[in-house]
Structure 1
Amino acid sequence: MSSVDKQLDDLKAEIDTEVPADITVSDVTYEGPELVIYTPHPKRFAQNGDLVRNLASKLRKRITVRPDPEALSAPKKAENEIMSVVPEEAGVSDLDFHQDTGEVIIEAEKPGMVIGRHGSTLRDITKQVGWTPEVVRTPPIESSTVSNVRNFLKQERDERRDILERVGRQIHREEMGRDQWVRITTLGCCREVGRAAFILSTAETRILIDCGDKPGAEGEVPYLQVPEALGSGPNSIDAVVLTHAHLDHSALMPLLFKYGYDGPIYCTEPTRDLMGLLQLDYLDVASKEGRTPPYDSEQVRETIKHTIPLEYGDVTDIAPDVKITFHNAGHILGSAVTHFHIGDGLYNVAFSGDIHYQDTRLFNGAVNDFPRVETLVLESTYGGRNDYQTDQEDSEEKLLEVINETYDEGGKVVIPAFAVGRSQEIMLVLEEAMRTGKIPEMPIHLDGMIWEATAIHTTYPEYLRDDLRDRIFHEDKNPFLADQFNHIDAGEDERQDVADGDQCVILSTSGMVTGGPIMSWLRHIGPDPDSRLVFVGYQAQGTMGRRIQNGWDEIPMNDSYGGGRSNTLSLNMDVATVDGFSGHADRKGLMDFVKTMNPRPEKVLCVHGDERSVQDLSSALYHEFNMRTFAPKNLETFRFR
């Protein structure tokens, strides 16, 4: 008998002693980080509301209770009984019964009403029908990404259960040795922006954090083939953790599966969906531009299949000696500051990912309160001594001023924007400004993935700022559904019509002018001196966006959006930059994040910034807080114990 099987037997015996005599436990097993209890008496479990909570506390495990098949009501009967329990105003749109696991997936417009206060309605459902309910939101804006991900995971349920059971056994395996140490190896994004990738190693475990590309630098990928990473074999990595979905952190995740990795990826649920959207677009753009992508769509599906979503605040075992907890990073939807608790109190590391410390229209500010942290790995995108962004209110006023001036001159405003995060922030500013009369009402055209990314935002309002979430939840005043927003879905013909039409605002990907539909808008509107190109996000070195910011007015054009023509475009439109809309903390925000961090770390590794930015921030943190700081290069290893 393996050590895991013996552990499960011991757990079952302990559970048998804890549950009332009238409840039978037929089996226990691991699925990923969760302990799954099977019982012929799910209704009795549900009647004792504190039983699962007390078991989880005593066993120090995340627990799911599932019914044996014979304990289940017939689906048709169960459907009627569920609908009698759930309030009609919950807006249930679908019930999907899975006999093999005894789960019923309930899709509803208002999931909170299906859950009930402290899960009371969920327990009532199980008391009535025996089935274990799971609740998902019906997207207020139809999302092909959310629908495709849910349908794909439904089709792959059997294989996914096999994956989860294998991962569960790996997590709960017996530790192999007595050595105790912690190391971080940098595989990318050190003294540069992009290709984020780190290895967190212990004597027992090896974890990859992020695996992204480098904007504007085709072929510069993380150093995955070194012995600390895949060089020792694709499955020498125990787990992968993704902080957020932006391509400079997530683009090359599918490459791991091409190389033979077969383990879990941990991220939040919206990060999973956005990751799939962005990776498939990454392949599409590469194809349109005649580049050979590093992987294909099959590896994207494998990535999604191996993803284990976690919620903010859930402490989760991902290895015998490592627990992680995600916290809101305030950067984009689902972005996470990731806290690693290593060993039995041995060491604690936090990876910031990308953060925004102050509240924005979209998100609450980044969390920096932890039980313990000895080392912080901190992004430094705006860490330079002069990298202070304009106050958000002032930034919004400047943007509205630019729009009003352009409108009065009869021109159009073209805003290159990241599909995820900045676009939705700008949408909220424009919707309010038109509603309150600060700018004239005019169409706001959304091109590229912006509309689909917005639909994903409305699917997960619990990840948005409190007041915005409440507007979507309770007031039926979803600002993303304003009449001014128009999704560009007819390609070049529609773009030409917009270019020939009246004043408008155009939000288009890509945000750094590295390809995508923004190239078409430059071709259509770039020659118009009455129009304006407005940058609202970071433009990395080497990108066309940075070159235009620096004064280039002759733009090489060779893209599918112009019919494959290769020539030079004269850019006659004005160019403006409005700071303050970045999803990244500026210099003050980064300093404040560390200053108010509880507890304050002993060491900080400054990463994800150009050489000047990381060195400036590292020096400032050292002098201000008397802590050990580093501005590592790629392929350095730091040992902490």
Structure 2
Amino acid sequence: MQVAFLGGASGIGASCLAIEVGSQWIVIDAGVRIGGTSDPLPDLAFLRDKSVAAIYITHAHADHIGALPLLHASFPATPIYATRATCLLMEVMLADALTIMARRAVEELEVPLYTPTQVSATLAALRPMPVGTSFAVAGIPDLQITATLAGHIAGAVCLSLAAPDGRLVVSGDISLTPQRTVPGASIPPLAHPDLLILESTYGRSTLHANRPAEELRLAERVAAVIAGGGPCLIPAFALGRAQEIILILLAMQGAKQIPRFPLYTDGLVRRVTAAYTQIPEVLNPRLANALRRGRHPFAASNLEPVRDLAHREAILRGPPACIIASSGMLTGGPSAWFAARLVSNPKAAILITGYQDEEAPGRRLLALADAPGGTLQLGDQSLPVACHIERYSLSAHADAAELAGFAAALKPAAIALVHGDPDARAALATQLGHTTVHLPTEGDVLVVQAARHARPPPPARARHTGMSVVLPSGIGNGEPLLVSDLDLLATTVRAATASPLSLTVRELAQVWYPTPTEADEAALLDLLAAASPSFAPVPDLPGVYAIGSDDAAPSSPNDQLRGQILLVRLGPTNLQPALCRDLRPSGLAILTAKGERGRIRILPADVLEIIGTYPGADLADGTAIMTTLKDLDHHAVAWRKRHPRATLLPLLNHEHTVGLAEVLQRLECMPEDLVARLAVAHMLNDTPEIIRSAAAWEWGGPARYSLHPDAQPLPAAVAPVPTAANTAWLSTCIDDILGNAAGLYRRGFDPATGAITLYFHFPTRAADAYADQITALAARAGVSVTLAPHPHQGALIAAASACLPDGARLHQTPSLLFDQQVVKATISGPFSPATQETADATFFAQTGWHLRLALNGGPPSPAVRVAPSPAPAPAAVLTRPLPAVAPRPTATDPLALSRKVIPDALGVVRRYLHPGGHVVVVAEFPDAARQHWAARLEQFRAISGMAIEVGGTTNQLHLTQAARLAAPLTIRLAKSMSLYREERRVHVRYEGAASAEAWADAGARFAEQTGWQLTYEALPTAPVAAPTEGTFDYGRAMAYVRAAIDPAAGLVKVSGDPTTRTLTLRFAFPDRLSPALQAQLADLAATTGWEIGVHPQTSLPALEAAARALFPADTSAVVMKFSADAALRLVTLTYRGYVDEAFITQAAQRFLRQTGWHIVLVPQ
């Protein structure tokens, strides 16, 4: 690997690096020198006759992009990569460069460096570069590049290069200190590079001044000058520094630290600031959040852009004001115009805030700060200096200590110092320890010696703090773009970005046309100028249009994330599930699987994917959260082990982006399956061939994924590969082939092999009836399929009862003799040998078992000689042998039999053999268990011949928790409850209001669960007097609204904002509010004088309670798991037991009418 320093090595300006990897070259930056030098360009002649595979831009300052049109003209087929933010800023900066060169051509007869045509061609070659994700270079497959945010200005990045012949980090311009506009730089993920190319702008500055103190000092000085009757000029770089100063002064005025005074911006500042509002993905999180919520941090009533020359003159004649103008070095532009008119004014001040080149007028002005009476040469004028001159350290470059720390974190084998004057580089070299330091000059070529042990590492994963957009191309199939096609164009862009976005006309043309021409772009611009509702022109940015979201009112980020399980990045390779507890200005408060030790705060950009709603009710219960996250992660890891990453690649392509839900659908996984969501999200964010084009939270929508441009797409499979974990696919196969097979009540999947076990009511008969379908299922699914050998005991008893002679009935629960395949029943009523034979024949035809009847108090019927029925033939069912099945429990294994008859899921705490020779099953609520399990206990006695009893004492904590869950949602229980064990009664006290019917339902649910009685008592409350209409204070308004609304409406919570006199009412099911209630809310708003709104989110506790209430007390089914998907408005309820299809249909319809949500009942 070779590195050629073509510019910007021994000074600042004309930055340009050429790097040879293999037989190909890449170029990083191509800038110009600022300040009117006679040789402004880097040594581009070095690249003559070389093969340049790609060009990369670190940021959009002129000293890094000013010569790019000339470089592109020499290599017109070479793509240019930059962040989306840099691409947009380059549009502004290069357009301004053309304007300046055109003016100089007239005023100074200076030959322009390049033409407008060359600039247009350069911008057309731009490609968005992903940030935080490694990617390959076209034509150099062994080279991996990772871009990480550099903190210098919006969109600035460091670049890490890894190849077999060397590893290299190019810092670009970096700032480790967070600014008001952008966060500080991230450390690149490529540790121990062979060479670090490090900027050294402030290599002599050991430590920058304290930034907050400098900001306050600047603001106070501006205020003092204006208070003294003089104007204040702040020359500032239009890109980066000007935006910082605007925010500093507006913030100080907003905090009343300085008085309000007129502020003006002039020059390129206006357009660059407008561009900043369109790239929130790379800005400081607080600033980005404000922009996304519709606020404009760069706007204020006292801030105004300068319109023209007459306006400038009027500003100087008007009241004292502060003027922020470009250029920052006074080399030209409005700042030089204002400086020429203020420098001799003793009441005026010129405040310098940025780097000044040796030959810049700004540097000469600073030299006069301590030497009054001097003169300043501005253009052809020599002006006496009488104004106040001061310098402030607001640098966007790292100081020497920060640069040394940056290098120490990377531990490079060697360092090359660039982008600094000789003194700065020499001073910094002394602080870099024992590392080999190179001080290259322009034209030097440095050979990178790769360490012997170094191999190209797996593609590094840096913290994803930017956004890369992968837009489709050529969707118009070569047809001209018409007005009627604009909606399709907007819809396509929205689908690809999953967020509101602003794009240039050039980018939009590339979406419609495969290779757009200038005529195509001009025609599109005419269509957009005719006013399309889907596209809005961005003020101050000609040719840039905002494509808004379809959503009229996007929900608050707090509503989106609080209570959600997220996939977050805590390190370059550390991806973990976490629960979002809260969202604060400083970041997201999350809890990881480490429990309370994992209580940390992260930036929104670290959220990779939203997995789903936390199934628990208490976000403060760290232990429960830890357990849930650990279990979820454990199962997701097992899922990933059985699914290679390559499984995802056929599901994605280069042209279109997809979301997690679409990938799950293509894998035929259930969208609400948290395990599958977490596993697939982890793979999508940890597969080098896949790139993300949107952040999960920052853009208000799901992340989007596509294949990296250099990844080779794989052919799509005919069907997903069936694996042990792909239960959704296996279930689909069962549904397609067996459909609603009679008696199929459960399906099981072996977690290790994926083998299917089908549970039929009567497996002997099912093996005959569905032999062909079962064989077809095994062939299609690619796994073994077998039938559970034992019939469903409840179905057997029901069938036996149906086969009894007319007028006969069961005297007691029949006995099931599994070894003989016989049901033995004692009956009352008519009985004869003929009826015995008829009943047995009917029963055998239906079940494959025999029925033996005995008359209560009489002799048993003659024994039926039973030949053992053959088990289903394995050859007709299985595609491969199954593991040995554990033997059926017998009387010698009473505990195992008890587990089969009374599963743990019914609320069993433990079970044991009593010394007296019987089984004891300890229940969570023994009083209720004795009632609910009566039939099961009798069944156990009949099968085993042993006694069994329910043991245990009701736990006080369990009772109080059950009471809180059963209580109506419209009330709040007092902390203490009274327990009366002799009466088996819990007495609660409450605040709020609930109807008698609601309390009756609560008592029934509580008794059903616990076997105890629930009584209640309302706490005394002071009566709420209705004040005069429209004069309610905050407390009275809330109390009045609570008391006025019928408890049956499901009011859960009332919250308010006294500053805006707004009350927000949260109902259990806001989509089901009646027109009468909506009219009542309007009346309450008029009465109280408060604005009343309804929170749109459904209450999850109420949703779960409604779902569980679908199963009546007399059903044998037990609810196992509840989950809800807010995006799909879908509840999934997993249950164990038997319910018929009619019940499922009626329950789903009833649930939809009550809640507005759909429900799926899934048997376990």
Bucket of the pairwise TM-score, normalised by the shorter protein = 0.5 to 0.7
Cα-to-partner distance string for 1:394-446 (whole Å, 9 max, x where unaligned) = 11121022112202211111000001111111111111111111111112101
Distance 1:519 1:543 in 2: 11
Q: CA deviation at 1:531?
A: 0.8
Q: Deviations over 1:264-305 (max 9, x none)?
A: 111111111212211221222233232222101111111110
Correspondent of 1:418 among 218, 228, 237: 237
- 1:614 alignment counterpart: 425
Matched, 1:499 2:316: yes
Q: Deviations over 1:28-56 (max 9, x none)?
A: xxxxxxxxxxxxxxxxxxxxxxxxxxxxx
Instruction: Tell me if 1:374 matches 2:194.
Output: yes
What is the aligned counterpart of 1:532 among 349, 355, 367?
Answer: 349
Residue deviations 1:107-155 (CA, integer Å, cap 9, x gap) = xxxxxxxxxxxxxxxxxxxxxxxxxxxxxxxxxxxxxxxxxxxxxxxxx
Aligned match of 2:305: 487
The structure showing larger relative contact order (alpha-carbon pairs under 8 Å, at least 6 residues apart) is: 1
1:367, distance to aligned residue in structure 2 (A):
1.1
| Aligned mates of 2:76, 2:283 — CA distance in 1 | 33
What secondary structure sits across from 1:439 in the alignment? coil
Shift of 1:482: 2.1
- Quote the residue 1:573 is aligned against: 387
Match of 1:250 in 2: 65
2:452 corresponding residue in structure 1: none
Determine the structure 2 residue equivalent to 1:190: 9
Q: 432, 441, 460: which one pairs with 2:251?
A: 432
**1:627 corresponds to 2:435:** yes
Structure-2 residue corresponding to 1:280: 95
Q: 1:248 Cα deviation (Å)?
A: 0.6
What does residue 588 of structure 1 align with? 401
CA contact (8 A) 1:270 1:333 kept: yes
Distance 1:275 1:533, change over 3 A: same
- Paired AA for residue 502 in structure 1: P
Percent identical pairs in the alignment equals 28
Give the whole-Å Cα distance in 2 for the aligned partners of 1:494 and 1:217.
28
Question: Which of the residues 368, 374, 382 maps onto 1:551?
Answer: 368
CA distance in 2, matches of 1:509, 1:457: 16
Contact 1:184–1:201 (Cα < 8 Å) also in 2: yes
Offset, 1:557: 3.9
Could you list the runs of 5+ residues in structure 2 that have no partner in the other structure?
450-1164
Query: Helix, strand or coil for the counterpart of 2:209?
Result: coil
In 2, the alpha carbon distance for the partners of 1:307 and 1:325 equals: 18
Letter in 2 for 1:257: H
Q: Give how far 1:636 is off.
A: 1.1
2:254 and 2:148 map into 1 onto residues whose CA distance is 34
Separation in structure 1 between the aligned mates of residue 250 and residue 130 of structure 2, nearest angstrom: 30
SS in 1 for 2:298: helix
- Give the 3-state SS of the residue equivalent to 1:481 in structure 2: coil
- 1:533–1:574 Cα contact (<8 Å) kept: yes
Structure-1 residue corresponding to 2:152: 331
Secondary structure class of the residue paired with 2:403: helix
Bigger mean CA offset, 370-379 vs 410-419: 370-379
The question of 1:267 aligning with 2:82 is answered yes
In the alignment, the residues of structure 2 paired with residue 634 and residue 472 of structure 1 have an alpha-carbon distance, to the nearest angstrom, of: 42
For residue 619 of structure 1, report the CA deviation from its aligned partner: 2.3
**Residue correspondence of structure 1 range 90-101 to structure 2 within 5 A:** none
Residue 237 (structure 1) shift: 1.6
- Is contact 1:619–1:629 with CA below 8 Å preserved after alignment? no
- Aligned-partner residue type, residue 405 of structure 2: D
Contact 1:208 1:241 in 2 (8 A): yes
Q: Quick one: structure 1 residues 224 and 274, their matched pair in 2 at CA, closer, same or farther if it must change by over 3 Å? A: same
SS at the partner of 1:232?
Answer: coil
One-letter amino acid of the counterpart of residue 401, structure 2? K
CA RMSD of aligned residues (A): 1.7
Letter in 1 for 2:415: V
Tell me which amino acid in the other structure corresponds to 1:320.
Answer: P
**How far 1:525 moved relative to its partner?**
2.4
- Tell me if the contact between 1:204 and 1:321 (Cα under 8 Å) persists in the aligned partners: no
**Equivalent residue, structure 1, for 2:338:** 521
> Could you say if the C-alpha distance between residues 368 and 454 of structure 1 is closer, same or farther in structure 2, counting changes exceeding 3 Å?
same
- State the distance in 1 between where 2:149 and 2:301 align: 31
CA distance in 1, matches of 2:25, 2:221: 50
Q: Is the 8 A contact 1:211 1:250 kept in 2?
A: yes
| Per-residue CA distance 1:347-405 (angstroms, 9 max, x = gap) | 22111110001211111111114144332110000011x44321101111210221122
- Residues 209 and 574 of structure 1, relative CA distance in 2, 3 Å threshold: same
* Helix, strand or coil at the partner of 2:136: strand
Deviations for 1:471-492, whole angstroms, at most 9, x for unmatched residues?
A: 2224x44311222221112x21
CA displacement at 1:311 relative to structure 2: 2.8
1 CA distance for matches of 2:146 and 2:41? 25
Residues 258 and 295, structure 1, Cα contact 8 Å, conserved in 2 = no
Which position in structure 1 is the counterpart of 2:274?
455
Correspondence for 2:134: 315
Output the CA distance in 2 between the equivalents of 1:459 and 1:383.
Answer: 34
Give the 3-state SS of the residue equivalent to 2:277 in structure 1.
helix
Q: Which residue of 2 aligns with 1:601?
A: 412
How far apart in 1 are the matches of 2:235 and 2:69? 27
Distance 2:403 2:97 in 1: 30
2:167 touches 2:194 (CA, 8 Å); kept in 1? yes
**How many residues were matched structurally?**
438
Deviation at 1:243, TM superposition (A): 0.4
AA partner of residue 452 (structure 1): R
- Give the 5 Å matches for 1:165-184: 182-184=1-3
Q: How far apart are the structure 2 equivalents of 1:498 and 1:527?
A: 17
Amino acid at match of 1:635: G
149, 162, 165: which one aligns with 1:341: 162
| Superposition deviation, residue 586 in structure 1 | 1.2
**1:239 matched to which residue of 2?**
54
Change over 3 Å in CA distance of 1:241–1:568 after alignment to 2: same
DSSP-derived class of the 2:238 partner: coil
What SS does structure 2 have at the residue aligned with 1:425?
Answer: helix
Query: Residue 430 of structure 2: SS of its match in structure 1?
Result: helix
SS in 2 for 1:382: coil
> 1:585 deviation in Å?
0.7
Match of 1:471 in 2: 290
Matches within 5 A, 1:200-239: 200-227=19-46, 229=47, 231-232=48-49, 236-239=51-54
CA distance in 1, matches of 2:41, 2:418: 14
Q: Is the 8 A contact 1:223 1:635 kept in 2?
A: no
In 2, the alpha carbon distance for the partners of 1:215 and 1:325 equals 29
Instruction: Output the amino acid matched with 2:90.
Output: M
Shift of residue 222, structure 1, vs aligned partner = 4.1
Could you state the TM-score of these two structures normalised by the residue count of structure 1? 0.66
**Unaligned segments of structure 1, at least 5 residues:** 1-181, 559-565
Residue 589 of structure 1 aligns to a residue whose secondary structure is helix
